[in-house]
Amino acid sequence: MPSVDRISSLTDGVLCHILSFLPTKISVATSILARRWRFLWAYVPSLDFDCRNHDTDTKFAHIVNRVLLLRGVQSIITFRLRYDDIDCSEYELDTWIATAILRNVQKLDLCLAYFGELPQCLFTCKTLVDLRLHFRNCIPSNGVVSLPSLKKLHIYGVENGLRRMLSGCLVLEELIIDQIDEDDLDFYDVIISSPTITRLIMISFQIYSDESYSHEYGVKINVPALRYLQVYDCSYEHMLLSPLTSLIEAEIYLNTYSMEVDYSIYTRCMFKFLDSLCNVKCLKLSSSDEVCI
Amino acid sequence: MVTTDEKGPLTAKKKSVIIRSCDGDEFLVSESAAVLSTSLKKILEEKEDRLIHLSDIDNKTLAMVIAYLSTHADDGLSDDLKRSFDQEFVSGKEFDVLKYLVLATDTLQVTCLCYTVAKKMADIMKNKLVEWVRREFDIQNDYTPEAEAEIRRLDAWAWDDRQLEDD
């Protein structure tokens, strides 16, 4: 092996790259290593705050403010924030998110207990590539959506704004929708439509209703470029899939048979759903209960 | 003696380059694998010579990087197989080995591997003690005890759950 000296010549850039995979808290803790490391964390391009990891007297909000103020570089590539405290200030949250947006953030991951409305600048951010919003009612009811670089969107729950949101994401490739339930959607008006999405993952897409089997479908899905589909624990009887001619792989988890509904109708809906996957090259089916196929 | 058809257009697809490590070992690598490194690609564009000498990468590290490049240049392997190769590539490797790898991938500009290795190093660093990190990174603590105490007082929140804490 070459001499040890070469390792101590790891550039600040490489060290910051390594630190970028650590939570900001640990990154700041490296300041104790030596003088060279005192403010190295201020040059790390990603920020990752989790209020669950803080139990000191210093208020979480003060910590976030300190880290943001001491940054040595303009850009923030990744901004991850988990703030479960329901007493968190909307004003502070708005400031932090807007700061990340103004610093050309590419990956934004927010998990908040409560939030009024996200800053409008988030929905017109030109640099966002990956957006994860882990809380309800995350899409504002009105306003322009234009996310020209967004490739990956992960949302919890879906509202009427989804259709508008998708229409503003012209290069979106992957959509993950998690934990949807009836309370959050206008039942007959959920449309997932995008000409560019190639990966779609839907988790716990449950719609409880004792009517409507012969009525309109609850969720219309029109994603003609789709190559990968994963559906986990969803109400297939309420879904209408447009033809998926490009589909290569699908993973379907069947466990939604509810005693409230007529079994024959349920299986018919299931067949119809599976029928729409007829071009798929690799289909994985799994089930938790005795669903007969 | 090199036969003429080896450089001829008919065999262009199977061009190879020789890469020499700082300790003199030579590796025959297909050009399609070599150009996955941005630095090697630039060198190959600039000079005719098919021998590249890397003065700061040792043979063991270079062999690992080349194994990675060759796997990723193999059109016969699916993306899934390449992904699982990447995961296995860094698993179980000593921190010391990863340090040389991250340096080599940074020099050679192999972005994907640099990312994978840096991430693995960060994973290992979690829950390690200050002295461990100093030792592994070969860091001399040049703080005075007073200065170190002052930092600990100011940013006390950064050490409150004993991550990167003292012994």
Q: Tens digits of per-residue pLDDT, B117-144?
A: 999 999 999 888 889 999 988 899 999 9
When scoring A30, A32, A67 by the number of chain B Cβ atoms within 10 A, the one with the most, hence best to mutate, is: A32
Across the range B28-35, mean pLDDT stands at 93
CA distance, residue A144 to nearest chain B CA (Å): 35
Range B4-125 has CATH code 3.40.50.2300: no
CA-nearest residue to B134 within chain A is: A33
Look at residue B151 and tell me whether its pLDDT is greater than 80: yes
Looking at this predicted complex, what is its ipTM? 0.86
A14/B103 CB distance under 8 A: yes
The reply to whether residue A29 touches residue B163, judged by beta carbons under 8 angstroms, is yes
Tokens 């300790």 identify what position? B23
Domain boundaries defined on chain B: 4-125, 127-167
Q: Which residues contact B150 (CB under 8 A, 6 or more apart)?
A: none
Domains defined for chain A, CATH in brackets: 79-287 (3.80.10)
Number of Cβ within 10 Å of residue A65's Cβ equals: 15
pLDDT value at B32 more than 50: yes
The confidence score (pLDDT) of residue A118 equals 86
Q: How many alpha carbons lie under 13 Å from residue B66 in its C-beta half-sphere?
A: 21
CB atoms B141 and A7 under 8 Å: no
pLDDT in tens, B64-108: 999 999 999 998 888 888 889 988 999 989 999 999 999 999 999
- Kindly tell me if the per-residue pLDDT of B166 is higher than 70: no
Does residue B133 or residue B4 have the better pLDDT?
B133
Select the residue of A35, A38, A58 nearest B156 (Cβ to Cβ).
A58
pLDDT attached to residue B3: 35
**Neighboring chain B residues of A26 at a CB cutoff of 8 Å:** 125-126, 158, 163-164
Output the tens digit of pLDDT for each of chain A's 293 residues: 444 445 457 889 999 999 999 999 999 999 999 999 999 999 999 999 998 887 766 788 999 999 999 999 889 999 999 988 767 788 888 999 999 999 999 999 999 886 678 888 999 999 999 999 988 777 877 889 999 999 999 998 776 788 889 999 999 999 998 876 555 455 556 788 999 999 999 887 666 555 544 445 578 889 999 999 998 877 777 778 888 888 999 998 876 555 555 677 777 777 888 888 878 888 888 876 554 44
B157/A26 CB distance under 8 A? no
The pairs formed by A50-53 with CB atoms below 8 angstroms and a separation of 24 or more are A50/A23, A50/A25, A50/A80, A50/A82, A51/A82, A51/A83, A51/A84, A51/A85, A52/A82, A52/A84, A53/A23, A53/A25, A53/B161
Alpha-helical runs (H) found in chain A: 5-8, 12-19, 24-29, 60-69, 90-102, 161-167, 263-275
